[in-house]
Amino acid sequence: MNIVGHLINGESRTDATRTQDVFNPSTGEVTKQVALASKQTTEQAIAAAQAAYPAWRATTPAKRAKVMFKFKDLLEENADKICALIGEEHGKINHDARGELIRGIENVEYACYAPELLKGEHSKNVGPEIDSWSEFHPLGVVAGITPFNFPAMVPLWMYPMAIVCGNTFVLKPSERDPSSSLFIASLLEQAGLPKGVMNVVNGDKEAVDTLLMDERVKAVSFVGSTPIAQYIYSTASANGKRCQALGGAKNHAIIMPDADMDNAVASLTGAAFGSSGERCMALSVAVCVGDESADIFIAKMSESMKSLKVGAFDNENNDFGPVITKQHLDKVVGYISGADEQGATIVVDGRNVSVEGYENGYFVGGTLIDNVKQGMTCYEEEIFGPVLLVVRVESMEQAMKLINDHEYGNGTCIFTRDGEAARYFSDNILVGMVGINVPLPVPVSYHSFGGWKRSLFGDLHAYGPDAVKFYTKRKTITQRWPSAGIREGATFSFPSN
């Protein structure tokens, strides 16, 4: 059976002491195995990155950017292969995988702007014949730990910008769908990246803890669940590393009485069920203001869901595919059953869906649950499946209180025709990414992505302008060249201009 290994110092490596099965979630079959890196193997990747750092740091930003321009071309040329790898191991439909890849490529395009982003700041004559400027220096070896749900896009949030800033990188992708991340990283060498600048180790907690504790690693970026994000952040910080750790979400959409209901339903159909709901920006809670709004929304959404098509990744007519594992399938079904037991109303039930020819796949159909209340397990926890909850409230203030009281603050949106309500909502909601009649307010590559509260640990968001700050350290230089023959005596007061 094929074993997916590692990429260390430009060479494919297989550390097969420990392996884990990789499944095709559409069929439930084991298709390959992934090698789980030992502490020693992970340290070899770190050593390769450390050895490559001095020369790469000395490479000009323009030359670094040229690598990214070529890398972008290679990603586009190999898009079909990348999307197939994602589909085979994640289950994501081809059109969804292509959308993921395009958003990742947009971050590569932003990284191509490195000469402008890194040119620093300069002020002349901050004092008598004194000039001052700031420079942005790389950190050294940095690491990324990425989740299964976006095996192409999320790594591309991290290492293109880290690399163009002059750092070297070690990526630890999800062991559930490792092949696309590994293949994409291999394209960097074709693009002209020197060996050792980019390294990939597949593995589990042993590899993660090695990255978190090795003093050669200066910064760690993570995307995943909140409990793991908190562990990553606290462990990395305790070991003196800079860290950003993006966690879970419970994203609410407020449906106002004046909303364009057809638009809201169409928007939420895609935002709730796309990618089987396995997105940290999935809209999983519709908060309807007024029973009349809720009744209309439920009726229209139920009708819309009749046309949902769930199935295998290679059929472009399907809307979404399976969830990632049998264990996750059972977990999502458990949330639906728990909602029923706790008094919610199952309007559309996706627990017993069967896909012809793929009867052993990990499929959950689109599910709609009404009369959900605070305190219900399905409401309080992140389901990460194709399940849309409906909560009924009497006012916009109650709707906003629900959102502001929740432990997560990743994304949210409001559907309304009222500009005053939209402005008040965006000004006062305690969430990091906000949409106005936009269901998935994922920032473009030249803005930054990140939530509030327990959806983000750390001060800087992912990609965009914050990525430059995260992957560099500022050095401010103040210099003076006095005019010939002019000398001053000692000054004992604190300097000022």
Same domain? For 279 and 323 the reply is yes
Q: Where do we find the tokens 């990283």? A: 185
Assigned domain for 17 exists: yes
Which SS3 state, helix, strand or coil, does residue 469 take?
Answer: helix
Q: Which two tokens stand for residue 43?
A: 């340290």
Number of domains forming the structure of the chain: 2
Residues 277 and 231 grouped into a single domain: no
- Is a pLDDT exceeding 90 seen at residue 469? yes
Which of 481, 476, 475 is closest to 128 using CA atoms? 481
Residues 236 and 296 in one domain: no
State in Å, rounded, how far the first CA of the chain is from the last one: 70
Does residue 447 fall inside a structural domain?
A: no
pLDDT, averaged across the chain: 96
In this structure, is residue 190 part of a structural domain?
yes
Domain harbouring 331, CATH code = 3.40.309.10
Return the CATH number at 141: 3.40.605.10
Local confidence band at 494 (pLDDT 50, 70, 90 cut-offs): confident
Predicted local confidence at residue 373, as pLDDT? 97
Look at residue 318 and tell me if it is in a domain.
yes
Taken as a whole, the chain contains a residue count of 497
What is the arithmetic mean of pLDDT over 142-154? 98
Residues 270, 201 share a domain = no
Tell me, yes or no, whether 49 lies in a domain.
yes
Confidence of residue 178 (pLDDT cuts 50, 70, 90): very high
Catalytic one among 280, 288, 378, 413? 280
336, 356, 331, 360: which is closest to 348 by C-alpha?
A: 336
In a domain, residue 322? The reply is yes
pLDDT given for residue 136 in this prediction: 96
pLDDT at 487: 67
pLDDT beyond 80 at 347: yes
pLDDT at 16 over 90: no
Examine residue 445 and state whether it is found in any structural domain, yes or no. no
pLDDT recorded at residue 365: 98
Beta strands 472-480; 130-138: pairing state:
antiparallel
Q: Rounded to whole angstroms, what are the CA distances from 186 to 57, 78, 150, 183, 191?
A: 21, 12, 18, 5, 9
Q: Are residues 340 and 463 in the same domain?
A: no
Closest by CA to 173, choosing from 141, 212, 210, 199, is: 199
Mean pLDDT in residue range 246-268: 97
Residue 222 lies in a domain: yes
For residue 363, the SS3 value is coil
pTM, two decimals, is 0.95
Do 233 and 263 fall into the same domain? no
- Do 165 and 118 touch, CB atoms closer than 8 A? yes
Catalytic, 280? Answer: yes
Q: How would residue 483 be classed by pLDDT, with cut points 50, 70 and 90?
A: confident
Residues 80 and 201 in one domain: yes
Q: In this structure, are 395 and 471 located in the same domain?
A: no
Residues 210 and 359 in one domain: no
pLDDT tens-digit readout, 189-215: 999 999 999 999 999 999 999 999 999
Residues 168, 264: one domain?
Answer: no
Q: 110 is in which domain, residue-wise?
A: 3-247+455-477
Q: Are residues 373 and 328 in the same domain?
A: yes
Same domain, 214 and 300: no
| Banded pLDDT at 85 (limits 50, 70, 90) | very high
- Residue 426's pLDDT is 97
CB 460 within 8 A of CB 142: no
